[in-house]
């Protein structure tokens, strides 16, 4: 059975940027080449779902060395982008949290390639939000195809 999106995104305007990079940096600590989110398109009113994006550029640090002549966005960076969206969503829910650490990934599947020039759409849905732990499911989508999915666990550090 083909994988399905975490939730229906047909009603979400994916051209609308709800939160830009500067707004993301007000919540998440990632800067420079380690900020994996370029913008957020949607956050549900219950703070349980979010959609974000990343423009995969040809000048990124990994392009030259990650499969020379055929650069692919490393899977670990796809998962990091999902973890950053999970962190953003968790910190919106738990306003007093200073830092959300990435402590586990489970059920990871890579289903497609992401190359320079792609727009990686990220979906995130919360499964559990507690003071000592959050669990979210993240997916990456390029041109309508799911390219990765993972269950991401974080905790305040």
Domain range summary for the chain, segments of one domain joined by +: 19-156
Instruction: Provide, rounded to the nearest whole percent, the portion of the chain with pLDDT above 70.
Output: 99
Q: Does domain 19-156 have CATH number 3.20.20.70?
A: no
Residue bearing tokens 């640090």: 61
**Is this structure's pTM higher than 0.85?**
yes
pLDDT beyond 80 at 2:
no
The percent helix, strand, coil of the chain (3-state, each to 5) is 20, 35, 45
| Span 134-152, pLDDT tens digits | 999 999 999 999 999 999 9
Residue 20, pLDDT score: 98
Of the given ranges (71-80, 90-99, 123-132, 141-150), which has the lowest mean pLDDT?
90-99
Catalytic residue among 35, 66, 119, 133: 66
Is 66 among the catalytic positions? Answer: yes
Distance CA 122, CA 24 (A): 14
pLDDT beyond 90 at 153:
yes
């Amino acid at each position: 059975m083909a994988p399905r999106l975490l939730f229906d995104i047909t009603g979400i305007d994916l051209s609308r940027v709800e939160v830009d990079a500067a707004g993301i940096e007000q919540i998440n600590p990632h800067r420079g080449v380690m900020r994996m989110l370029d913008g957020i398109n949607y956050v549900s009113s219950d703070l349980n779902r979010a959609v974000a994006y990343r423009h995969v550029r040809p000048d990124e640090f990994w392009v030259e060395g990650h499969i020379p002549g055929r650069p692919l966005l490393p899977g670990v960076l796809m998962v990091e982008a999902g973890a950053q969206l999970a962190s953003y969503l968790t910190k919106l829910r738990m306003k007093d949290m200073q830092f959300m650490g990435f402590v586990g990934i489970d059920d990871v599947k890579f289903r497609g390639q992401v190359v320079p020039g792609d727009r990686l759409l990220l979906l995130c849905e919360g499964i559990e939000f507690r003071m000592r732990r959050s669990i979210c499911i993240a997916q990456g989508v390029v041109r309508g195809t799911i390219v990765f999915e993972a269950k991401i666990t974080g905790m305040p550090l």
